[in-house]
Chains A and B, each alone.
Chain A
Amino acid sequence: MNPPVSAVLWVLLYLLLVAAPLLVLLIGPVPPGAGFWWDFSMALGFAGMAMMGVQFALTARLRRASAPFGIDIIYYFHRYAAVIALGLLLAHFAVLRIDYAEALGAIDPRRAPWHMTAGRVALALFAVVIITSLWRKPLGIEYDRWRMWHALLATVAFLAAAGHIAGVGYYTVAPWKRVLWTAYTLFWVLLIAYVRLAKPWAMRRRPWRVAEVRAERGNAWTLALAPEGHVGLAFAPGQFAWLTLRASPYHVKEHPFSFSSSAENGARIEFTIKELGDFTRTIKTVQPGEVAYLDGPYGVFSIDRHPHAPGFVFIAGGVGIAPIMSMLRSAADRGERRPLTLVYANNRWDDVIFREELEQLRERLDLKLVHVLAEPPEDWAGERGYVDDALLARYLPPEQRTFECFLCGPRPMTDAVQRALTALGVPLRRVHFELFEMV
């Protein structure tokens, strides 16, 4: 199926899953109404719960479902959807609080019925889950810890909310509706089990061994992995995988990294990782022979998604070169003849990752290579400063503005380059980038 069609179908499926509970409640014998605002509030509660349920599917990394969009955008959506769902649940509560305060009963859990306490707990936990995600960094929460608590609290909140609905029990009193609602709830619980148990189990059965850890320029390290007892994985250049090192896949201590090696060799794959945080600082201490686990490949940031493009433009900042290097190496291995341009921004010349290999790739590819340095040496004759529209205009002649553009670098840079490309008349649909670092 071609990507746009399957994308539309997946979006429709999503909308159906979100709408399903309300539709089911409306079918068949409906209990008598109790006033517009009361029933509206109940509907908001069910709708919020349905959206929260589907949240588990959005982050289950279902490869088929994410393929047309790119998993990064699914996570991005997960974020928006969470805020909308919380808004619905808060509105559910607010309507009752304003119009039917007596019906909420005591707040004190010792006096309140358990299902009302469950509802309050669910609402509070959902709020905590979302606040700690939107503002993880300002709150100073460490990533691994955040991930564990995020999954745990979200699950507890969901189960508490399911308990709240079962306890109130008004709409689900008809046996078949109760069965349907239970099945719907159970589906998400099973999905959690799949993600937390079945998937790590499958990863354990396909281990990788560290073949080499190689120092690169700019405090970066290349980690080479070889498959252990399996054939490896086939990926498209530019894609990424979640990497687990020195931990069991069940511990969910994994981090996403782009492949930097050629996609033509799935039996030895490489990641190029810059020392930026707690985990990335440990890469240099990894020894050959250590076990690694991979969940991937994911992502739509790839030249392979655009087989008919007349050429490609790559704009990289620092270690953002990793996925682009994978695309260049793959292109060279495939004998690519189309014109390629790489605008590569760094602070210092000595920190330019893959500096030498990029020179060599020029012999195998029709590659225009533009280095841009923010802190150039005194004798530097090349481009200096930042990548802006004036610089891009110099290297992108108008006929090349129909090329597909791939951006990878720090967020301020990709934002600025996007604006610059737009100013040059490059349509947004030709500008590709991954959305990393959402939390």
Chain B
Amino acid sequence: MRELWVRIVAGITGALVLLLALAFAGLQSPPTPVAAPAMPAAALPPALVGAGHAVYEAQGCAMCHAIAGEGNPRYPLDGVGGRRDAAELRDWILATGAAEEALPARAARMKQDYRALAGSELDALVAYMKSLTDRPPGEGER
């Protein structure tokens, strides 16, 4: 008899927690935008953009960022190349200049690692960011 109650309470707990998790996700998230693949802009040398993409992967940038739906969806980078110029992008990558103020302390700390990049790697990464001009469909102008 008591065993039955245990199963009931355990079931209720599991269901309650799942419902709360669903509610949490539903309340927090509007429908996920379906991202289109990013297109490198013609003006950027494809080799440099390719090298930047390699740096992006090697540095594990996808742990905090997503491009075209790949990676951590919290901070998508789609369209960032259209919003920021190269100098701004460099600041955001390194957490320097205006970006240092704008970034949360934790994020600024994480970005310290990028200061160890070779100049050529950083240039390539900036070029790759600059190439991300496509916004995910469904998002308006910002």
Question: Which A residues are within 8 Å of any B CB, using their own CB?
Answer: 11, 14-15, 18-19, 22-23, 25-26, 30, 32-40, 42-44, 47, 50-51, 69-70, 73, 76-77, 80-81, 84, 87-88, 100, 102-106, 111, 113, 116, 169-170, 173, 428-429, 431, 435
Asked whether B50 is an interface residue with its Cβ less than 8 Å from the other chain, the reply is no
Question: Are A34 and B17 closer than 8 Å at their CB atoms?
Answer: no
Q: A19-B16, A19-B20, A34-B74 are in contact. List 4 more A-B contacts (CB 8 A).
A: A26-B27, A36-B25, A43-B21, A44-B21
Inter-subunit contact A40/B25 (CB<8 Å): yes
Chain B residues within 8 Å of A70, by CB: 2
Count of chain B residues with Cβ under 8 Å from any Cβ of A?
Answer: 40
Which residues of chain B in 19-66 are interfacial with respect to chain A, using CB atoms and an 8 Å cutoff?
A: 20-32, 60, 62-64, 66
Contact: B17 with A435, CB < 8 Å? no
A195 to chain B, nearest CB (A): 22
Q: Which 7 A-B pairs have the closest CB atoms?
A: A33-B29, A102-B62, A43-B21, A40-B25, A33-B28, A103-B72, A35-B32
Residue of B nearest to A170 (CB): B74
Q: How many whole Å from A136's CB to the nearest CB in chain B?
A: 20
CB distance from A19 to the nearest CB of B (A): 6
Contact A40 B13 (CB under 8 A): no
- From the candidates B14, B17, B22, B74, name the one contacting A38 in the complex (CB within 8 A): B74
Question: Are A26 and B24 CB-contacts (below 8 A) given A15-B16, A18-B17, A80-B7?
Answer: yes
A44 cross-chain contacts in B, Cβ below 8 A? 21
Tell me if B12 and A15 are in contact (CB < 8 A): yes
In Å, the complex CA distance between A100 and B31 comes to: 16
Question: Is B86 among interface residues, defined by CB-CB distance under 8 A?
Answer: no
Verify A51–B29 contact, CB threshold 8 A: no
Dominant SS among interface residues on chain B: helix
On chain B, the residues within 8 Å of A34 by CB distance are 28-29, 72-74
Across-interface contacts of B60 in A (CB, < 8 A): 105-106, 111
CB distance from A237 to the nearest CB of B (A): 19
B6 within 8 A of A: yes
Cβ contact of A103, chosen from B9, B12, B27, B63, cutoff 8 A: B63
- CA of A106 to CA of B60, assembled, Å: 8
Which residues of chain A have C-beta atoms less than 8 A from B74's C-beta?
A: 34, 38, 170
Identify A105's interface contact among B4, B22, B62, CB under 8 A.
B62
C-alpha spacing A11/B5, complex, angstroms: 11
With a cutoff of 8 Å between Cβ atoms, the chain A residues found around residue B21 in the complex are: 22, 40, 43-44, 47, 88
Give chain B residues whose Cβ lies under 8 Å from the Cβ of A18: 13, 16-17
Question: Do the beta carbons of B20 and A113 come within 8 Å of each other?
Answer: no
Q: Are B63 and A47 in contact (CB under 8 A)?
A: no
Q: How far is the CA of A93 from the CA of B26 in the complex (A)?
A: 19
Contacts A40-B22, A102-B62, A103-B66 given; does A35 touch B29 at CB 8 Å? yes
User: What are 30 residue pairs bridging A and B, where the CB atoms are less than 8 Å apart in the complex?
Assistant: A11-B9, A15-B12, A15-B16, A18-B13, A18-B17, A19-B16, A22-B17, A22-B24, A23-B20, A25-B24, A33-B30, A34-B28, A34-B74, A35-B32, A37-B25, A38-B74, A39-B24, A40-B21, A42-B24, A73-B3, A76-B2, A77-B9, A100-B71, A102-B71, A103-B72, A111-B60, A428-B1, A428-B4, A431-B1, A435-B2
